[in-house]
Amino acid sequence: MMTPALLSAALLLLLLPGAPAENSNQTPISIHVSNSVTNAPIQTYSTYVVYRGILLGAMRRLQASNVGFSFTYTEDPNYGPFLESVNGLAGCSADRTYWELLVNRANETIRPDVGIGCYIPCANETIVLNFNKY
């Protein structure tokens, strides 16, 4: 038989927020792959992030489940993941090309001040991975 103090402690543990299970609290997002250099048709993918999950996790999940989507990145020791290529197309310093991260939400497009390793998407956002020149 549980003592009142032990029962109270057990109830408290049940009420504390914890890490959600993988299948609970999925936040749907879309990822658009666009190319401002060649104006190639936009490729659209649907995936999700878990509660407070990062974009990189959603991209990894999408890559594992969709043979039409792939990406590579490098890990910078100071700034974290740096997107190198999407669907086989890599940025190139000689050509002055790179992949930029944009987010369409409501009626605006923003450029987040963080990258794929820190950005936490909101429900129904459209993440734009845009190949561009600098």
Tell how far CA 114 is from the center of its chain: 11
Q: What is the pLDDT of residue 124?
A: 84
pLDDT tens digit sequence for 34-79: 999 999 999 999 999 999 999 999 999 999 998 899 999 999 999 9
d(CA 122, CA 51): 9
Q: Where are the domains of the chain?
A: 26-133
Tell how far CA 106 is from the center of its chain: 18
Q: Would you say residue 13 has pLDDT above 80?
A: no
**Looking at domain 26-133, which of 2.160.10.10, 2.170.130.30, 3.40.50.2300, 3.40.1190.10 is its CATH number?**
2.170.130.30
Environment class of residue 98 by beta-carbon count within 10 Å: exposed (0-12), middle (13-18) or buried (19+)? middle
pTM of the model: 0.80
d(CA 88, CA 63): 12
Structure-model confidence comparison of residues 124 and 126, the more confident one: 126
d(CA 130, CA 28): 20
Q: What percent of the chain has pLDDT over 70?
A: 82
